[in-house]
A and B are shown apart, each in its own frame.
Chain A
């Protein structure tokens, strides 16, 4: 197969509430890097209804071309329909690679496309680089204690699911064009029927953009004690995070989950309260600038990554910290 004719990078930019999701715009910077090496263009694809503003945003965030597919039929995400649209765009553009953001729906769309296009797919990609003319993707194994570099040079397009928060949004101000495409929903390969979309959790939690995150784990002991975590977060103008056990015990809703199966975060300050530091959690907080950990077990793995580790029961330590920080803030 002559690979040199495949140069472009297609970036699927998912929208939520008619805005591009964060990882959607983040992907444009690695896409730009690879497109430049290949001598190709970055072509973003947006599918939805009433998302022209989102398309404009993408065009201003580093895409050479934004392919906009709008129809009321695409108002809500439908795996089969969106896969059909992407398949037809990809077959026309003939890209070298397709980047999809690591959201829940992105993680479904990518392997579906890979199967249809008979190509490879890398998941949870944390880094993209070029080595000897090959595009190398770095992916975590075993919750992140081991990293794996993979290549997919024997098939096109190579598909990669990029991890949210792993790439910095491009500072470039390339003014891309917007191409509207009319791709009606085909009946072919439509197997699912979405009967209902239910929002149970109305709060919006932006862990990914937070400057300060205070998280609680099993060591908080109870829902009542978990309030201390919320108090400290409020005091610091931060967002509340949690580990899976704290969520499974019902102390807080799952939108607050930080870690491999939750949100990957990169705040300036991360305070871990009663969190032992399982790999699945730690791998999600490694990009934090400053980590403070409170845990009663002095051998807890969380201390290996903390700038400051307080050995003690978070339930006793937190009230003192809250009072002291209050005092210092008032003194300012």
Chain B
């Protein structure tokens, strides 16, 4: 069983992002991390691998700093890692990103002679929560896609997954290869052991450039190839802060608050 896990490096989503004076996201002091949903995808893939056999390849598009994220993946279940590092891909929209991932997956398959049975993605990223890449990628690969997966089984070329819904779940089957997008399952991703961290440091991370991608259509990538073009970024107007109540006791604070709410006729 060969598994590909596509990951994105994003700024730590527990930190608020604001714009610089130039109107660009100010990410200078925010730690880059692997997108939370991608860590769930990797954990699900790792459990699947451990229950059977096979290998996991992690794939990321990004700059030099994204190597660190791939190292982290190598420490928690990934056997191989590749970074698509190409400045001209910056500014790609979801279609562009999906196209690049598709080309990179094909390139890895060509090089290793293996075929991916399952392609995992997080259901969306925490920085731009679009949730488009899984569906787009599956169309480009001509495979099925099961989204919002919380459980998966794989046997004899058939994939059966539990898709979380608002009211429960759907049980969906499709043939491999296929794309799976993962949401938060019942479990948390594992932490790397020191031993695994050390081992991950020694593992190579393959670099993929545009020229390595035999089926690349460059006109689909980068800012120029994007269907979705950004006009501007701005911050939403701040809501004016109201009154803060901090009396001697919780009792007094509560009474004062209720009196104010009654005056405002909100109940």
Contacts and interface: CB of A to CB of B under 8 A. Distances in A.
Contacts of A145: 16-18, 235-236
Interface string A133-167: 00010011111111111111111000000000000
B160 to A, nearest CB: 7
Contacts of A33: none
A286 B235 CA distance: 14
Nearest to A109: B135
Nearest to B245: A310
Nearest to A151: B229
A213 B232 CA distance: 34
A146 B235 contact: yes
B139 A112 contact: yes
A153 B229 CA distance: 9
A172 B168 CA distance: 36
Interface stretch (A35-43, A66-74, A190-198): A190-198
How many residues of A sit at the interface, in one of the four size bands? 35 or more
B19 interface: yes
A196 B171 contact: yes
B11 interface: yes
Main secondary structure of the interface of B (DSSP, over half): mixed
B262 A149 contact: no
Nearest to A307: B242
Nearest to B148: A104
A317 B232 contact: no
A136 B160 CA distance: 40
B112 interface: no
Interface string A279-319: 11000001001111000001001011111111111001110
Interface stretch (B57-65, B82-90, B124-132): B124-132
What 3 pairs across the A-B complex have the smallest Cβ distances? A120-B227, A191-B144, A115-B139
Interface of A: 79-80, 104, 107-108, 110-112, 114-116, 118-124, 131, 136, 139-155, 191-202, 212, 236, 248, 254-255, 260-261, 268-269, 278-280, 286, 289-292, 298, 301, 303-313, 316-318, 320-321, 324-325, 328-329
Interface of B: 11, 13-14, 16-19, 25, 93-95, 98, 126-136, 138-140, 143-148, 160, 165-175, 178, 184, 226-236, 238-239, 241-246, 250-251, 253-255, 257-258, 260-262, 264, 266-267
Given A110-B132, A320-B251, 16 more contacts: A79-B147, A112-B145, A114-B94, A139-B128, A141-B233, A142-B11, A145-B16, A146-B18, A146-B25, A191-B143, A195-B171, A197-B168, A292-B266, A304-B239, A306-B242, A325-B258
